[in-house]
């Protein structure tokens, strides 16, 4: 549909099954991209927060499944908080497929929530480090690569509805996602000269691992049964459903394609009408 054949797409935080990054990887593969699956790359035993982190084993499985779609795929571990690992990711991607054309900054954490007056400094740093510093480092090194190639490129930041509106107990997450929009706009202005387009996608609630954890957190806080809480989200949504990972993947494929070649600096809501500014 979008003719992305032969382009190389790197999706950070894409080594977890059922999550948004995996869906983006499948969609871009189905549009002909060679895919770099990338995640923090640790084993179950090493995990600091098992339920939230994609494992090296899951990463390998996703790579094999993507290859069945008739494109090339590799798995490259990268903790987006570490600049040396990020530059290594870009080098390895270029080595594997000859170029870096599309970067999707998807890696993120959303499971650290605390009342604002009790918010710990280390919690703030942990969230900002992955969500915002990670996107900064990956964008920087992808842009360096794209500028050297001289054919333009495309960077897509997976932000959130929390990039447009505030949410209780989520000061760090909300600030990190608002920050991502600033990064998007600034980079769009600066990198436009190199034909690098930079956009963001802002999803509402999707019941991934992260989404499930947030549902549980908020339903407990409100003293509501989990299903009742989820239904309350559906009820207030104009399209009467929560988001699906595929909704985000479709928006990313569009923004990565030539159909969006005059779109940059945009923060596109994909929320079923829940967010509209």
Ligand X SMILES: NC(=O)c1ccc[n+]([C@@H]2O[C@H](COP(=O)([O-])OP(=O)(O)OC[C@H]3O[C@@H](n4cnc5c(N)ncnc54)[C@H](O)[C@@H]3O)[C@@H](O)[C@H]2O)c1
Q: Which residues make up the interface to ligand X (CB under 6 A)?
A: 12-13, 15-16, 19-21, 39-40, 52-54, 79-81, 106-110, 130, 134, 158, 160, 203, 205-206, 208-211
Name the catalytic one among 2, 26, 173, 229.
Answer: 173
Residue 185 Cβ, how far from ligand X at the closest point, in Å?
18
In the bound state with ligand X, the residue whose beta carbon lies nearer, of 125 and 261, is 125
For residue 245, the tally of other CB atoms under 10 A from its CB is 21
Contact 127, 173 (CB under 8 A): yes
Considering the complex, state which of residue 224 and residue 244 has its C-beta at the smaller distance from ligand X: 244
**Is the CB of residue 107 less than 8 Å from the CB of residue 76?**
no
Shortest Cβ contact with ligand X: which residue?
108
Residues 6+ positions from 197 with CB-CB distance below 8 Å: 152, 153, 154, 155, 188, 191, 255, 260, 261, 263, 264
Of the candidates 72, 37, 71, the one whose C-alpha atom is nearest the C-alpha of residue 57 is 37
Taking the least distance from each CB to ligand X, the nearer of 29 and 137 is 137
Starting at the edge strand found earlier in the chain, the sheet holding 34-39 runs 73-77, 34-39, 8-11, 102-105, 153-158, 196-203, 267-270
Nearer to ligand X, 153 or 211 (CB): 211
CA distance 116 to 100: 40
CB of 170 to ligand X, least distance (A): 11
Smallest gap from residue 193 Cβ to ligand X (A):
28
In this complex, which beta carbon is closest to ligand X, that of residue 3 or of residue 226? 226
Q: How far is the CB of 67 from ligand X (least distance, A)?
A: 19
Minimum distance, C-beta of residue 184 to ligand X, in the bound complex (Å): 13
Q: Any idea which residue has 């209780």 for tokens? A: 168
Length of the chain: 277
CB 16 within 8 A of CB 44: no
Which residues touch 106 (CB under 8 Å, ≥6 apart)?
11, 12, 13, 14, 20, 21, 24, 158
262 is catalytic: no
Give catalytic residue positions: 173
């Amino acid at each position: 549909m979008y003719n992305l054949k032969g382009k190389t797409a790197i999706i950070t935080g894409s080594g977890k099954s059922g999550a948004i990054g995996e869906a983006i990887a499948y969609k871009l593969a189905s549009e002909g991209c060679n895919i770099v699956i990338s995640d923090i790359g640790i084993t179950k035993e090493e995990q600091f927060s098992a339920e939230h982190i994609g494992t090296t084993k899951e990463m390998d499985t996703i790579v094999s499944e993507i290859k069945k779609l008739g494109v090339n795929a590799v798995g490259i571990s990268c903790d987006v908080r570490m600049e040396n690992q990020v530059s290594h990711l870009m080098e390895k991607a270029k080595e594997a497929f000859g170029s870096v054309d599309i970067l999707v900054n998807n890696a993120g954490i959303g499971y650290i929530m605390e009342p604002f007056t009790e918010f710990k400094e280390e919690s703030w740093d942990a969230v900002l480090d992955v969500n915002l510093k990670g996107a900064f480092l990956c964008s920087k090194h992808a842009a360096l690569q794209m500028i050297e190639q001289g054919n333009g490129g495309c960077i897509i930041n997976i932000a959130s509805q929390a990039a447009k509106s505030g949410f209780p107990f989520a000061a760090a997450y909300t600030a990190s996602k608002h920050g991502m929009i600033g990064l998007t706009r600034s980079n769009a202005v600066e990198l436009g000269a190199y034909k690098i387009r930079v956009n963001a996608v802002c999803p509402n609630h999707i019941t991934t691992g992260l989404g499930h954890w947030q549902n549980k957190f908020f339903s407990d806080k409100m003293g509501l049964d989990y299903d009742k809480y989820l239904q309350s989200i559906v009820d207030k949504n104009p399209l009467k459903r929560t988001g699906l990972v595929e909704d985000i993947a479709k928006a990313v494929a569009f923004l990565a394609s030539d159909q969006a070649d005059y779109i940059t600096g945009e923060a596109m809501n994909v929320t079923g009408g829940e967010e509209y500014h």
